[in-house]
Structure 1
Amino acid sequence: MTDWSSQGERGSRFAVRLILWIALHLGRAPARLLLYPITLYFLIKAGPQRRASRRFLTQVLGRPARLADIARHLHSFAATILDRVFLLAGRRELLDIRLHHPERVTDRVAAGQGFLLLGSHLGSFEILRALAIEEARLPLKILMYPTHNRIITELLHALNPAFADSVISLASPQPLLAVQENLQAGRIVGLLGDRYMPGEPTVICDFLGRRAAFPTGPLSLAAVTGVPVILPFGIYRGGNRYDVYFEILAERIELDRARRKASLQEWIQRYADCLAHYSREAPENWFNFYDFWEDADDERGTSQRAR
């Protein structure tokens, strides 16, 4: 699998600032017109991302992905980034956001119960973060590495300083202590469970019929803290429409001491199965633009030898 963390960030600070200026001063409709040349640019210039999109879509659709499929895929990704700007600028009325089973989150917040919100790069996890900041009702903290996508992140932080305040940095001296303190205070801690950093422990799970590595850290953290785990999926439907789903993975994760690794893998497989379900339901929302499967390198080698 290609190391996603080694992928360079595309786009200059000037270009991103220009798009933000158009969005905030001219409105959503003119800004969305820019998504078409942006999509064309990535189709032409972003070879690794384009090929990764083709491989994923071919797998999930069960047929060879067409160029139009890849274009819709890239367009959806760009659209969700643009909409994040409007949410952070307090313009939620521009978006049609439908929440499915929000009580799975709000009831716990009302009861002062801390829990983990285990997201992914399927759909817009950031729409939940933006909603929490914009409405100031969800006490959400995000556990993340702040160095990835630095240009966009810095500009969004400048747009809404509360965006930066919601981060628990994995680069800080004691991030897990901060996580525990926030959970004990009845806050939500959000993190992503579908990517791992080089050297991080992983387990192999089935994902859409192929082998993929998932990090063990998120669900190990859930087992240690003993808090509920909820899976959010912010699915972009096109235009200004989003469906946000909340799935309960577990009220508490307990690992069998005699078979801890196997028990942990079973829980991670449940996460992967839920991720696969929503991937099939909304394939254009898959925003991991790199070789996700463990056998991707073998597959390319076989293809090249066949040619």
Structure 2
Amino acid sequence: MSAGWADQRERGNRLAVAIIRWVALHLGRGAARLLLYPITLYFLVRAGPQRAASRRFLAQVWGRPAGLVQVARHIHCFAATILDRVFLIAGRQSLLAVRLHGEEWVTALVASGQGFLLLGSHLGSFEVLRAPGVERERLPLKILMQPEHNEIVTSVLAALNPGIAQTVIPLGAPNTLLAVKEALDAGGVVGLLGDRNAPGEPRIACRFFGRTAPFPLGPLALAAVTRVPVLLFFGLYRGGNRYDVYFEPFTDRLDAPRPRRREILAEWVQRYAARLEHHTRMAPYNWFNFYDFWDDGEGS
């Protein structure tokens, strides 16, 4: 049984991340991207469990073995999106070319004043929501997340823009649900990720790339409790400075009466898993769950 994502030690250190940030902001994106090659090599050599997880995942997607070159490309793609977080957070979004797909769904909901949930994943970049094309929609965005995960990278990058911390609603806090409700009642957008299980969180077994994988019930349970529209979001990195951002309508309102709540939520989680699989097939190197997704440490 492999370790789940919550058990993985954060690799890298604060000084290294700070150096990369300095190079990016003072020497430019081109110079900073040269650092991606030694970074990729470092993780290819030192991050054994993540390397093995990448190989297993790519083999599952393609139906054939994945070699070291493909694993290196996978790691490089992840490192590139982390680097671009520097520019997105620092307000240098113009360095990136971002194409929007389905933005009319966002525009209509924002214009109506209706609060809604934006359900994403660890496929591609969630941070690309700060790109210029998305900012045109003036998203009043709050993000549900666990700040302690990847704390080094998060804290070093957050220092670029202290206001970013004001957009975070910590998961598991006593007032989490209240903060979510207040944001939605004010016509805001709450973003969350639906593909990782927190320790002890209820989960459901879904079909995913031909196998059974555990998905959390929490995100769709939140949709049922808040009874607001849900849009899906995928920010796929296409190489260079290019991103494709996809918005999809998921549900106008999720009704899950208590007697059949788990059954109904399970159906919706499976629909989410199917859309995640669809977009993952489009861009498998954007898959940033570097652990055995089909066995996340507690079984499925």
Residues 93 and 130, structure 2, Cα contact 8 Å, conserved in 1: no
Quick one: structure 1 residues 154 and 246, their matched pair in 2 at CA, closer, same or farther if it must change by over 3 Å? Answer: same
**Structure 2: which amino acid aligns with 1:144?**
M
The letter for the 2-side match of 1:27 is: G
Query: How many Å separate the matches in 2 of 1:17 and 1:216?
Result: 36
Q: Name the residue aligned to 1:215.
A: 216
Letter in structure 1 aligned against 2:234: F
Query: Which SS does the other structure have where 1:53 is aligned?
Result: helix
- 1:301 maps to none
* Matched position secondary structure for 2:40: helix
- Quote the residue 1:230 is aligned against: 231
What's the secondary structure of 1:159's corresponding residue?
coil
1:107 aligns with 2:108: yes
Structure 1 residue 2, shift from structure 2 partner? 2.6
Identity %, equivalent residues? 65
Deviations for 1:91-136, whole angstroms, at most 9, x for unmatched residues?
1121110001111112211211100001100010121156699769
Q: Does 1:163 align with 2:164?
A: yes
> CA contact under 8 A between 2:128 and 2:235: conserved in structure 1?
yes
Counterpart residue identity of residue 72, structure 2: A
Partner of 2:36: 35
In the other structure, the counterpart of 1:274 is 275
Give the CA deviation at 1:153.
0.7
Aligned to 2:94: 93
When normalised by structure 2's length, the TM-score is: 0.95
What letter corresponds to residue 197 of structure 2 in structure 1? Answer: Y
Q: Is the 8 A contact 2:88 2:130 kept in 1?
A: no
Given that residues 2 and 292 in structure 1 are in contact (C-alpha distance below 8 angstroms), is that contact kept between their aligned partners in structure 2?
A: no
Mapping of 1:1-307 within 5 angstroms? 2-129=3-130, 137-294=138-295
1: CA distance, partners of 2:131 / 2:8: 25
Return the offset for 1:172: 2.7
CA distance in 1, matches of 2:163, 2:111: 22
- Which TM-score applies when normalising by structure 1? 0.93
Q: How far, CA to CA, are the matches of 1:95 and 1:14 in structure 2?
A: 26
Larger mean CA deviation between 274-283 and 136-145 belongs to 136-145
The whole-number CA distance in structure 1 between the counterparts of 2:128 and 2:195 is 17
Deviation, 1:19, is 0.4
Q: Distance in 2 between matches of 1:297 and 1:216?
A: 15
- Once the two structures are TM-superposed, the CA of residue 262 in structure 1 deviates from its matched residue by 1.5
- Between the aligned partners of 2:298 and 2:247, the Cα distance in structure 1 is 34
Q: CA deviation at 1:173?
A: 2.0
Shift >6 Å, 4+ stretches: 132-136, 295-298
Whole-Å separation in 2 of the counterparts to 1:135 and 1:152: 27
In 1, Cα distance between equivalents of 2:132 and 2:163: 12
CA distance in 2, matches of 1:268, 1:136: 28
Long gaps (5+) in structure 1:
299-307
Paired position in structure 2 for 1:305? none
Change (3 A) 1:33 1:198: same
How many Å separate the matches in 2 of 1:138 and 1:262? 33
In structure 2, the gaps of 5 or more residues are: none
- The count of corresponding residues between Structure 1 and Structure 2 is 298
